[in-house]
Amino acid sequence: MIKKIMAANWKMHKTWDEAVQTAREVVVGIGEDLPPDREVVFFPSGTALKAVGESINGQNGYFLGGQNFYPAAQGAYTGEISPLQLADAGCAYALVGHSERRHVLGEKDDFLAEKVIFGLSSNLKIILCIGETIDQRRQDRVEGVLAAQLQKGLEKIDQNVSAHDLVIAYEPVWAIGTGETATEDDILQAHGFIRKMLKDLLNQGQEIRVLYGGSVKPDNCARIIALDNVDGVLVGGASLKADSFSRIVLA
């Protein structure tokens, strides 16, 4: 069974106590109702990783992820965190290339490709985020942008990479935190193109999960995850409240 990933990216929100409380409320609130075809991944801030990991430890179907890491085991990289440290905190997943890392913090494709390969070699499951800006969409460059980001981000990995270890998240930059959501046709076209690219680039392209991220809410999640080639969601603002995110998980 290929499980859909329901991921909560809390970005730079929540104190230690708030993060633990929200995670616990989600787990307890869902209880035995977590569908067998779903897995839940929490991406809290670095300060809360260990605590959130301990709060979900032993709960089937729940995992911890890091929002970022530096592609080195250790070293003089002030302010960064290594994959080894993420794993030590209990992380199974890590994000690479989120639009805010690309467009706010200036991470380039070459650097993101290094992160993908180093994260995978460090036994983390990698969610590589790709997506176009509103100007790129208006210029009819969506497929070109997605192709370039995929080709560059995956150019160094083994073509036989396990489909369990690599995930792609399509997040149109213009739909993140804006309240705007890509239409069903937008999502179908983008995810269909990504699937074709994965088949061309990797031997297990059909099995690699492709998530959608961009103003996902309880009232639109069911329609989104029912679409072809949509294998889950990466949720920002709507994941900050336990009730809202629980409804998304169960959509």
pLDDT, one tens digit for every residue, the chain (251 residues):
789 999 999 999 999 999 999 999 999 999 999 999 999 999 999 999 999 999 998 899 999 999 999 999 999 999 999 999 999 999 999 999 999 999 999 999 999 999 999 999 999 999 999 999 999 999 999 999 999 999 999 998 998 899 999 999 999 998 877 777 789 999 999 999 999 999 999 988 899 999 999 989 999 999 999 999 999 999 999 999 999 999 999 99
Maximum CA pair distance of the chain? 48
In a domain, 29, yes or no: no
CA angle, 181 then 165 then 230, to 5°: 25
Residues 119 and 136: their CA atoms lie apart, in Å, by 29
CA 244 vs. chain centroid, Å, equals: 18
Q: Which of 76, 72, 70 is nearest to 46 (CA)?
A: 70
pTM of the predicted model as reported, rounded to 2 decimal places = 0.96
In a domain, 152, yes or no: yes
In a domain, 23, yes or no: no
Q: How many domains does the chain have?
A: 1
What are 7-20's pLDDT values in tens digits? 999 999 999 999 99
In a domain, 108, yes or no: yes
Q: Catalogue the active-site residues.
A: 98, 171
Domain with residue 151: its CATH number is 3.20.20.70
Report whether 127 contacts 95 (CB < 8 A): yes
Burial class for 21, CB neighbours closer than 10 Å (0-12, 13-18, 19+): middle
DSSP, collapsed to helix, strand or coil, labels residue 44 as coil
Strand partners, 94: 66, 126
List for the chain the helix, strand, coil content (%; round to 5): 45, 15, 40
